[in-house]
Amino acid sequence: MARQVSRLELAAIAKAFGSTRALEDVSLSVAPGRIHALLGENGAGKSTLMQVIAGAERPDRGSMRLEGLPYDPVSPGQARERGVAIVHQELSICPQLNVRENVLLGAEPTRLGLVDARRARQRTERALRLLRGADRPLDPDTLVSELSPAEQQLVEIARALAHEAPKLLILDEPTSSLGGDDVERLFASLRALRDEGLAIIYISHFLEEVRRLADDFTVLRDGRAVLSGEVQASEDDDWIAAMVGENVTQGAASAVRTPGREALGCTGLVSASGLAGVDLSLAQGEVLGIAGLVGSGRTELLRALFGLEPFSAGQVRVRGQRVVPSPAAQLARGVGLLSEDRKSEGLALALSVADNLTLSKLTPFGRWGVVSPRRQRGVAAAWVDRLRIRCRDVSQPARELSGGNQQKVAIARLLHHDVEVLLLDEPTRGVDVSSRAEVHALIADLAARGKAVLMVSSSISELLETCDRIAVMRRGVLGAPRPAGELSEHGLLAEASGA
Amino acid sequence: MKAWLARPWFGPLVALVVVYLLFVWLSPDTFARSVNLSTMARQTVVVAIAAVGMTYVIIHGGIDLSVGSAVALTTVVIARVLERGSGPLVAVLAGVAVASLAGAINGLLVARLRITPFIVTLGTMGALRGAAKGLADEQKVDADPSGLDQLMSALSPSSPWLLPAGVWIALAVAGLAALALGYTVFGRHVVAIGSNVRTAELCGVPVARVTILVYALAGALAGLAGVMEFSTLTVGDPTDSIGLELAVIAAVVIGGGSLAGGQGSIAGAMVGAVLMTVIRTGCTHVGVPNWVQEILTGAIIVAAVGLERLRRRR
């Protein structure tokens, strides 16, 4: 297909962080007036690539050209000046400001130190006009807190477009927090922008969205662009095969473990956080995996089971008894949660390894709730040895440990508490390869000793390697669990992403 | 040696020694005398006892602005009870009980209604002040101190106790509170909540209960500080101790307390309280006018926190 000069052209881009090679050799061409979807599993390098294009990271090798001219931004600001803007997954708007103030935030036109109201209005109107696909135009004077999530998303996009000449817009999973109607509204605006001649790079895990919206696609795997072409001329199966690659992980049926009675279960769990009637039964001595995209409700399910998030209907059972979950009560019943958010929830980073490890069960020394720091350190040191946590000593602040070792501290806390049911949310996120293998071995060992493990992971191959059964979560509904031996990465990914 | 250097109260302690030696050098005849030491110790007692409670509140991640009003209310309650002819012990218990109750209400509002501590205690600061004025009919309440004045009055030079009882009580309270902070489940939970409340919740720490207890403890200690204040004044005064909370917060902050929570120490707060007394007394001895003292104290607060930041950045 004959096209005019590429809007953005990447040639052999490579980027490494320490010993991890995030991008090996990525070449990519984005045409003006087209929506280009970027596909790939978690860790394939999509985010890093976007950071490079948006000027937040500089590539180690390779070159970029924007409209045929050399393009090598050293900062996001410089990228914006060249007309390249990125809209991140999380909304970053100020709810107490109105639409205009949000759109111009940080780039307010001024005269003699005062906001130049006329130019501000012109620029906002131009940016909002570009979004005219929205069924009702945004009023620049509305407070952003009064807008729907989709409209707030549009305000962010308008901010990205408020610069002199927008050329390329990057959207990172813009629909992950939007409902069905809102998605349609957003898509209408994006199509209108495309028809104006803007080039759009669109990252999504939802294959159906990509099929509806995008014109071209590129699949990234292990830091390489492995497949690209026109959306119309390819099948979902081709995409999934390219995302998963040759090394197809098949589930391993575990012969050692014999699941016992139900340890934890729930029926008809519904919550405002997105659960839409979840049934689940987790047996003693089994590892049950939950596959699903970010925002599918998998994290919310674990949190509801542990009592960190309320649910409006349904019931939770522990060992057959109906319970009202709260963190303290669930811990007392032997149910523990490993948070996916290690830095802001899983650990108190300023506290020592010993404090973090023993916080849920500070073994009182004698009566009156007196704690013996010596004994506390002794207990912690034993776990540090057992799990081979690398730290100077147990009084070192958790902040100073590597990600993998921090994660081991958080897991060690559950072991110290001697829980019977482990709810593990992304147990190996941000963990190096060797620690990852150790965590997997630990999970297998726990199940062999009769503990029940419910595990959420974005890595389907990890689930296939460690779980006995796997269920797929999609838009708040959990499918029936099936033996891992009968499942494949290809099939699970297709189910989770709705192909 | 290194462990000592890393302690949060080490910097303020150095500052205290330096400031003390400076005034000894400037005013050797009067400042260094033991009578003056005893006077300064007595003048620090009220702030010091209240600062023990405030240290818990600040480490927990909160703030308590109602301390000054609680102290004033306590003095009025004690005077009123004594006035009715009850014994000093009953009066003291009544005063401390009222202040503890006020603290527990602070805690309940913070923990259950999830109103920020600043707002809650700003409200109770006014309410307790009003209650004190109402109970006192808007004037000083005279009553026979029934021996309570002995807690804070200067001892005869021949006394074996060296310092008045109030000073020893303050030291004992500070020592116990420091031990409880470091070596009890309650104390560790306070630190954990201030450090990261989400982690504490995840670990099943009873956050609401600990919160209520912390503010009740701060109220009880404000009550005890009120007992010492009554001992000094020997009247119940509803307009007393206005702005005391700021001196108390300053003591905690000088001693390494962080308003973000999770950090602070009782020892540091005690050093902070003494440091402020030394500056005030020293300036008086040297003849520095009052307004210079105020500027100096303000500068010391900011400098102490700023230096601590710099020290940690390295």
For residue A1, is pLDDT > 50? no
Q: B203 and A359: CB-CB below 8 Å?
A: yes
Return d(Cα A383, Cα A354) in angstroms, integer.
10
Mean of pLDDT values over B68-86: 96
User: Taking CB atoms and an 8 Å cutoff, what residues of chain A touch B3?
Assistant: none
pLDDT band at A319; cut points 50, 70, 90: very high
Please tell me which residue of chain A has the smallest CA distance to B184.
A370
Mean of pLDDT values over A251-275: 80
Please tell me which residue of chain A has the smallest CA distance to B189.
A359
- Tell me, yes or no, whether B1 lies in a domain: no
User: Taking CB atoms and an 8 Å cutoff, what residues of chain B touch A332?
Assistant: 204
- Tell me, yes or no, whether B13 lies in a domain: yes
B188, B195, B202 ranked by CB distance to A339: nearest: B202
Q: B192 and A332: CB-CB below 8 Å?
A: no
- Tell me, yes or no, whether B3 lies in a domain: no
Domain count, chain B: 1
**What residues of chain A have any CB closer than 8 angstroms to a CB in chain B?**
308, 327-332, 337, 339, 344-351, 355-356, 359-360, 362, 364, 368-373, 413
More confident residue, B312 or A388: A388
- The whole-angstrom distance between A401's CA and the closest CA on chain B is 17
User: Taking CB atoms and an 8 Å cutoff, what residues of chain A touch B182?
Assistant: 373
- Tell me, yes or no, whether B280 lies in a domain: yes
pLDDT at A139: 83
A329, A337, A355 ranked by CB distance to B202: nearest: A337
User: Taking CB atoms and an 8 Å cutoff, what residues of chain B touch A353?
Assistant: none
- Tell me, yes or no, whether B233 lies in a domain: yes
pLDDT at A335: 96
Looking at the DSSP assignment, which residues form a beta bridge with residue B162? Answer: none
Mean of pLDDT values over A227-248: 83
**B274-295 pLDDT, tens digit each:** 999 999 899 888 888 989 888 9
pLDDT at A2: 43
Q: How many CB atoms lie within 10 A of CB B123?
A: 15
Poorest-pLDDT segment among A250-254, A378-382, B61-65: A250-254
User: Taking CB atoms and an 8 Å cutoff, what residues of chain A touch B257?
Assistant: none
**What residues of chain B have any CB closer than 8 angstroms to a CB in chain A?**
182-189, 191-192, 195-196, 198-206, 262-263
User: Taking CB atoms and an 8 Å cutoff, what residues of chain A touch B198?
Assistant: 344-345
Mean of pLDDT values over A457-477: 90
**A44-58 pLDDT, tens digit each:** 888 889 989 989 889
Q: A370 and B203: CB-CB below 8 Å?
A: no
A360, A369, A372 ranked by CB distance to B203: nearest: A360
Poorest-pLDDT segment among A138-147, A253-262, A409-418, B89-98: A253-262
Enclosing domain of residue B269: 8-313
- Tell me, yes or no, whether B177 lies in a domain: yes
Please tell me which residue of chain A has the smallest CA distance to B192.
A348
A339, A371, A413 ranked by CB distance to B184: nearest: A371
Poorest-pLDDT segment among A127-131, B98-102, B191-195: A127-131
**B237-277 pLDDT, tens digit each:** 999 999 999 999 999 999 989 899 999 999 999 999 999 99
- The whole-angstrom distance between A361's CA and the closest CA on chain B is 8
Q: A348 and B262: CB-CB below 8 Å?
A: yes
Poorest-pLDDT segment among A240-254, A355-369, B104-118: A240-254
- The whole-angstrom distance between B194's CA and the closest CA on chain A is 9
Is the Cα dihedral A429, A435, A441, A445 positive or negative?
negative
User: Taking CB atoms and an 8 Å cutoff, what residues of chain A touch B203?
Assistant: 327, 331, 359-360, 413
- Tell me, yes or no, whether B161 lies in a domain: yes
**A149-162 pLDDT, tens digit each:** 778 888 888 888 77
B47 φψ region: left (φ > 0), alpha (ψ -120 to 50), beta (else): alpha
User: Taking CB atoms and an 8 Å cutoff, what residues of chain B touch A364?
Assistant: 185
Top mean-pLDDT range of A199-203, A235-239, A362-366: A199-203
Mean of pLDDT values over A140-153: 82
For residue A164, is pLDDT > 50? yes
Interface with chain B: mutation pick from A302, A308, A353, A359, highest number of B CBs within 10 Å: A359
- The whole-angstrom distance between B185's CA and the closest CA on chain A is 5
Interface with chain B: mutation pick from A362, A372, A399, highest number of B CBs within 10 Å: A362
CATH number of the domain where residue B126 is located: 1.10.3470
Residue-averaged pLDDT of chain A: 86
**A448-466 pLDDT, tens digit each:** 999 999 999 988 888 998 9
For residue A384, is pLDDT > 90? yes
User: Taking CB atoms and an 8 Å cutoff, what residues of chain B touch A407?
Assistant: none
For residue A356, is pLDDT > 70? yes
- Residue-range domains of chain A with CATH: 8-244 (3.40.50.300), 262-497 (3.40.50.300)
